[in-house]
Amino acid sequence: MTAFLIRRIAFAFVTLFSVLTLVFVIVRILPGDPAQLILGDQASREAIEAMHVRLGLDQPILLQYASFLGNALRGDWGVSMMTGQPVLAEVLNVLPWTIELTLVSLALGIAIGVPLGVWAAVRRNRLADYIVRIASLAGLSFPAFVSAIILLFLFAIELRWFPVISAHKGSLQAWTQSITLPAISLGLNSAAYITRVTRSAMLEVLSEDYVRTARAKGVPQRIVVWRHALRNALIPIITVAGLYLSTLIGNSVLTEIVFSRPGLGKLIVGALNQRDYTMLEGMMVIYTLAVVVVNLLSDLAYGLVDPRVKLA
């Protein structure tokens, strides 16, 4: 287990390093001078040069790269050009909101998707299966912000069951009220995705010899499906749920805008509108970190679910 852990963590560092390099390259190769972007078209030459010095853009490219990597890893992501606050502090301020939203949505997606997927697989090619397949395809087709707007309109504006602005304070009731609609909106998408993956993983496992053996031995169908088959189908489900978490983090941008919820999404859109260049670079680093951590966690989850993985 230790060797497996070390290998995975080393691999996570390699990925982190590569993606940070990608972020650096993207920001540098894109046409357009960041100083010009920040100061606008009317800025004088002197102002632009001063901004170059401030951003370190007057240094040789390799030096810029080294200081970018060093700063990113030390957690020194500079100061927001708009608020004057450290980027890290601003990010940490809203990060819990985004983590909370994505985790609750993913949990919702698993709670709906896994049973539906199992049910459809067991009833393969029957009416229930067709309905689940069409419904999950429709769920996948919803752009995150469209489902969010429809939910907001129906349940917050027309029926007034939930607040229009989902920024909870204090009590558990307020928390539940403010997270329900955003989590359903994001969770529907992940439920659709997980349903499809569960169904196809289950179909594969249900045709395996050991499932036939268990059935031949007279093990009840319920136990065959939920204990023998589902446990073995979990690996692809975890892989996809892990990969999907990065999509969820991306889509949460839209959900946060629609429900006026604080979070990384609102922060990044604010930074884009204000041309807050240092903030954007910091946000890209935080997204990179999030993706690497999520991938690492899902790798570790395999190890827990499937003992064979450790040997591989």
Reference 56, options 89, 24, 23; nearest CA is: 24
Using the rule CB under 8 A, is 246 a contact of another protein? yes
Number of Cβ atoms within 10 Å of the Cβ of 167 = 14
Using the rule CB under 8 A, is 53 a contact of another protein? no
Q: How many CA atoms lie within 13 A of 156 on its CB side?
A: 21
Interaction residues for another protein, span 93-132 (CB under 8 A): 124-125
The pair phi, psi for residue 66, each rounded to 5°, is -60, -45
Interaction residues for another protein, span 251-310 (CB under 8 A): 251, 253-254, 257-258, 268-269, 272-273, 280, 284, 287-288, 291-292, 295
5 CB-contact burial (10 Å; exposed 0-12 / middle 13-18 / buried 19+): middle
Using the rule CB under 8 A, is 87 a contact of another protein? no
Q: Which is nearer to another protein, 53 or 272 (CB)?
A: 272
Question: CB 291 → another protein: shortest distance, Å?
Answer: 5
Question: CB 99 → another protein: shortest distance, Å?
Answer: 14
Q: Which is nearer to another protein, 1 or 22 (CB)?
A: 22
Question: CB 307 → another protein: shortest distance, Å?
Answer: 26
Using the rule CB under 8 A, is 220 a contact of another protein? no
Tell me the number of residues near another protein by CB under 8 A: 53
Tokens standing for 215?
């059935």
164-to-96, 150, 157, 257 alpha-carbon distances in Å: 20, 12, 7, 12
Provide the sign of the torsion angle of the four alpha carbons 41, 42, 44, 48, taken in this order.
negative
Residue type at 234 in one-letter notation: L
Per-residue burial over 40-55, b = 16 or more CB atoms within 10 Å of its CB, e = otherwise: eeeeeeeebeebbeeb
Using the rule CB under 8 A, is 18 a contact of another protein? yes
Using the rule CB under 8 A, is 30 a contact of another protein? yes
Binding site for another protein (CB under 8 A): 15, 18-19, 22, 26-27, 30-32, 37, 124-125, 134, 137-138, 140-146, 149-150, 152-153, 157, 196-197, 199-200, 203-204, 246-247, 249-251, 253-254, 257-258, 268-269, 272-273, 280, 284, 287-288, 291-292, 295
